[in-house]
Amino acid sequence: MKPTRRTFVAGSLVAAGVAGGVLPTGSAQAATAYTITADGITVTALTDGTIVVGDGTERIRIGHFQVKDTVLGGQRTFGGTPSLITLPDGRQAIRVDYVMSAAAKTITVTGTFDVTARRLHARWDATSSNQMYLNSQFNRTVVSPTVPEYPTAVTRWNRDAGGGVPYETNDGILYTETWADTKAYFRLRSSRPDWTTASWMHIVGTYDALGVLRHEADLVFGNLREVSANAAAVGRPVGLDVWTDQPFNLWYETGHSMPVNVQVVAGGTVTAPVTLSWFARDFDGTTLTSGSTVLTLAPGQSTDHKIVVPALQQQGVAFLEVQAGEAFARTTLSVLPEYDYQGGGMFGIANYPWLLKPSKADIATLLQKIGVSSVRIAYNGAPGIPPAELEALGITPNIQHGDVVFDSTPEQAKTWAAELVDVVVDSRARYFEVDNERNQPWMSGLYADKYIRDGLRPVVDRLAEVGSDVKVMNNGLGGMDVNWVDSFHANGGWDLIDVFAFHPGRGNFTPDYAPTPDEWVTGSNGSYWNFLGGVREAKRRIREYGGDKELWLTEAYACTRPNQWWNDTMRQAAENVLLTMALAKAEGVDGVNWYQLYDSTIHHPQEADPANPEYHFGLMNRDLSAKPSLLAFATGTRVLEEAEFVRWLDLSKIDRHLHGLLFMTPEGPLSMLWSRKDGYLLNADHEEGKAYYPHPEVWEDDWPTKTKVVVGGDITEIDCIGRRRRLTGPRIELTLDGAPRLYRGLSARPEQQLRRG
């Protein structure tokens, strides 16, 4: 789901006043007024209110502050008067009473700056006679850095009181400043990196009980990991960071041990022993390694430790948890062996690959390794990898763009379309999806006529004028909205598109759940949000309306929002990714774009929000380690790339709950088998009326009913994350449940081979 033009405009209203930020005026000439010190840090107030921070060397200057209210808009300070004050604990601090312009006399801004060992705490209090916006900025100048400033969102792991899986919550954001000999970290409770400029740092304030808008930031010195610096900044007793030196914690060869780095920091004020413990499990729950050690850390001290997880001998994933005191962290370590893709696949990524971490080259390699054939949103100037670079990787750049303005004049629509088409032509896109999910309210049938009149038709006319042969898609619909599609067809939109696009957003239904539209229930938890039923209805409409349109699922989903009955568990998501891909292939879908590559959102990169589903659609975790879903996606691209669908398997003579798909591949027949004895509803035992549902751990098999079937021969079983198991003999017992499994070695008539176990 791309950021709309409206989103950018709204954001720019806050950033507009700071884009040309003014550096502290006259600070080079101002005299020293007051100095406060602590171990490893010196803070000096100049007579004009500028704050100079160093550690024996001048490092950073903090100058003006900017606030915004509903009447006066953005207003910045113009210097200030420093004074020395005493805090309630007896420490001295610097106070700055800032000067506002004559036009902003109803606004006051006061700064308070105090120090502890290697840390500055800054607080800005603002008042206005008008309502104030929470978004403010402070001016900072970094002196002679060796690396550009960069932001890092920091999270904290939490145990679920209800017994579900642990989850992350936001724990601030850091901006790292780097010199040859040390680092410093601005720690803020909340900040938007895209609203931070070279001169001004965005900071979010909160109103206190007296109506004062308070902003707080800490600046920590030392060579620390960002997570450790965060713990030191907030004075947490123990901070913990876990990482590997391998991009995405992902190895492209089997048989290598997987070393993991751990950093523990004491953020408190006393020396105390800390127990460091860890375990790693595989997808079956088998413990791969575990251990513990005791560390003794002085206040502010950090130490590094190494954990080595044994090698995986085939494609797979290990789940690691490390704990130090009350702090703990989780990540995954994965193995995805090389594969020689033949090209021309049908599976891509829906959103921009926008987070180019650890590097653009690493992201490009990952896209190739998991078989991404297309990127839905790629144009010059957009976040992520430019179209020409994607093409060089063998990945097709498509474009979803535009925000149709309903009820615009014909002239406005024509101008808008011309500007949009310029971007499309420049991107050399093969497919162009005009706008996104404009069928709201769902199933209302509203606005299809306006979408055609004010958006789609002007775009199609302009494409014809410039001679573009890009294939045009309607805006990808949220769900298979039959009422909107009927209105779209009745108003002449069907003949304007080459491709019908929709987003089969799936709730707690297995992907093969296929109710017909007369059975759909709308609403946020309605059966309208199903996969296979929507795909089949889309195919029916394409046949009915004609024109030989392609069918693209420009956003497909497996959301892993933790401990919610409506969303997949981590294990279910992997199973459903693979089954979704196989069903799309079986139903003759032309293209599928998975939404999306990473957890978190483009406006809040690598932040956490356990309650918001938008933060949990990725194939990768927030820390960029692989979910099992990523391995499932790669398994699907590999086994289905050259597969041709043959038929659904009728296994009712063995068991009426068994289902299967048969594909033909260059290696012979490929069967996918599963059971629905446990039904089509996931997390079906949730408590009515409550969204909360304690998810089991990812390594726990939660399908209660197993069906045994037997067959003889030489069979290879492939599970949802691509692990292979070879079975031979005259009587092989296969266990089928709700998880889809692939089988090579069965004939083209597996229903005649398989017998009840």
Q: What is the CA radius of gyration of the chain?
A: 29
Mean of pLDDT values over 595-612? 96
Residues 6 or more apart in contact with residue 170 via CB below 8 angstroms: 153, 154, 155, 156, 190, 607, 608, 609
Output the pLDDT for position 2: 34
Is the per-residue pLDDT at 4 higher than 80? no
For a pLDDT cut of 70, what percent of the chain falls above it? 96
> Is the dihedral angle over the CA atoms 193, 199, 200, 201 positive or is it negative?
positive
Pairwise CA distance, residues 505 & 476, whole Å: 11
Q: Residue 582: name the closest of 642, 645, 527, 625 by CA.
A: 645
Give the model's confidence band at 269: pLDDT under 50 very low, under 70 low, under 90 confident, else very high.
Answer: confident
Tens of pLDDT, residue by residue over 297-308, are 988 888 999 999
Residues 6 or more apart in contact with residue 20 via CB below 8 angstroms: 199
Q: Residue 432: name the closest of 474, 485, 385 by CA.
A: 474
Output the pLDDT for position 299: 85
| CATH (one of 3.90.1640.10, 3.30.420.40, 1.10.3720.10, 2.60.40.10) for 240-335 | 2.60.40.10
Report CA-CA distances (Å) from 471 to 390, 435, 464.
18, 14, 12
- The per-residue DSSP string of 342-394 comes to -S--SEEESS------S-HHHHHHHHHHTT--EESS--TTSSSS-HHHHHHTT
Q: How many CA atoms, within 13 angstroms, populate the side-chain half-sphere of residue 218? A: 20
Pairwise CA distance, residues 579 & 691, whole Å: 25
Mean of pLDDT values over 74-87? 98
Cβ atoms of 34 and 44 closer than 8 Å = yes
Tens of pLDDT, residue by residue over 223-240, are 999 999 999 999 999 999
Tens of pLDDT, residue by residue over 39-63, are 999 999 999 999 999 999 999 999 9
Residues 6 or more apart in contact with residue 546 via CB below 8 angstroms: none
Tens of pLDDT, residue by residue over 681-697, are 999 999 999 999 999 99
Is the per-residue pLDDT at 380 higher than 80? yes
Report CA-CA distances (Å) from 633 to 629, 681, 699.
6, 22, 18
Ranking 166-170, 228-232, 500-504, 584-588 by mean pLDDT, the lowest is 228-232
Location of structure tokens 């109803």: 106
Output the pLDDT for position 297: 92
Output the pLDDT for position 17: 34
Mean of pLDDT values over 488-492? 98
Tens of pLDDT, residue by residue over 163-219, are 999 999 999 999 999 999 999 999 999 999 999 999 999 999 999 999 999 999 999
Given its phi and psi angles, is residue 209 left (phi above 0), alpha (psi -120 to 50 degrees) or beta?
alpha
3 state DSSP class of 5: helix
This prediction has a pTM of 0.93
Tens of pLDDT, residue by residue over 330-366, are 999 999 999 999 988 999 999 999 999 999 999 999 9
Is the per-residue pLDDT at 639 higher than 90? yes
Is the per-residue pLDDT at 250 higher than 60? yes
Where are the chain's structural domains?
Answer: 34-234, 240-335, 658-756
Output the pLDDT for position 346: 98
Mean of pLDDT values over 7-12? 28
Q: Residue 743: name the closest of 710, 697, 694 by CA.
A: 710
Pairwise CA distance, residues 367 & 385, whole Å: 11
Tokens of residue 127, six digits = 């008042």
Q: Residue 541: name the closest of 611, 507, 493 by CA.
A: 493
Q: In this structure, which topology does domain 34-234 adopt according to CATH?
A: Beta-galactosidase; Chain A, domain 5 (2.70.98)
Output the pLDDT for position 29: 66
3 state DSSP class of 595: coil
Output the pLDDT for position 24: 42
Tens of pLDDT, residue by residue over 716-750, are 999 999 999 999 999 999 999 999 999 999 999 99
3 state DSSP class of 288: strand
Tens of pLDDT, residue by residue over 393-448, are 999 999 999 999 999 999 999 999 999 999 999 999 999 999 999 999 999 999 99
Pairwise CA distance, residues 580 & 232, whole Å: 45
Tens of pLDDT, residue by residue over 522-532, are 999 999 999 99
Q: How many helices (H) and strands (E) does the chain have?
A: 12, 40
Topology match between the domains 34-234 and 240-335? no
In single-letter form, the type of residue at position 482 comes to V
Report CA-CA distances (Å) from 138 to 24, 31, 64, 416.
11, 22, 6, 36
Give the model's confidence band at 3: pLDDT under 50 very low, under 70 low, under 90 confident, else very high.
Answer: very low
Mean of pLDDT values over 362-374? 98
What per-residue string of b and e applies to 166-195 under the rule 16 or more CB within 10 Å gives b? bbbebbbbbbbbbbeebbbbbbbbbbbbbb
* Residue ranges in 45-185 assigned as alpha helix (H): none
What count of residues does the chain have?
757
- Dihedral, CA of residue 109, residue 110, residue 114 and residue 119, to nearest 10: 0
Pairwise CA distance, residues 273 & 424, whole Å: 60
Output the pLDDT for position 300: 80
For the chain, the farthest-separated pair of C-alpha atoms sits apart, in whole angstroms, at: 92
Is the per-residue pLDDT at 18 higher than 80? no
Output the pLDDT for position 344: 86
Output the pLDDT for position 713: 97
Pairwise CA distance, residues 729 & 714, whole Å: 7
Tokens of residue 190, six digits = 């909340």
Output the pLDDT for position 663: 98
Give the model's confidence band at 279: pLDDT under 50 very low, under 70 low, under 90 confident, else very high.
Answer: very high
Output the pLDDT for position 28: 52
Is the per-residue pLDDT at 26 higher than 80? no
Mean of pLDDT values over 109-129? 97
Beta strands in 222-362 (DSSP E): 239-243, 250-251, 258-265, 272-282, 287-297, 302-309, 316-324, 327-335, 347-349
Cβ atoms of 325 and 354 closer than 8 Å = no
Tens of pLDDT, residue by residue over 452-486, are 999 999 999 999 999 999 999 999 999 999 999 99
What's the mean per-residue pLDDT of the chain? 94
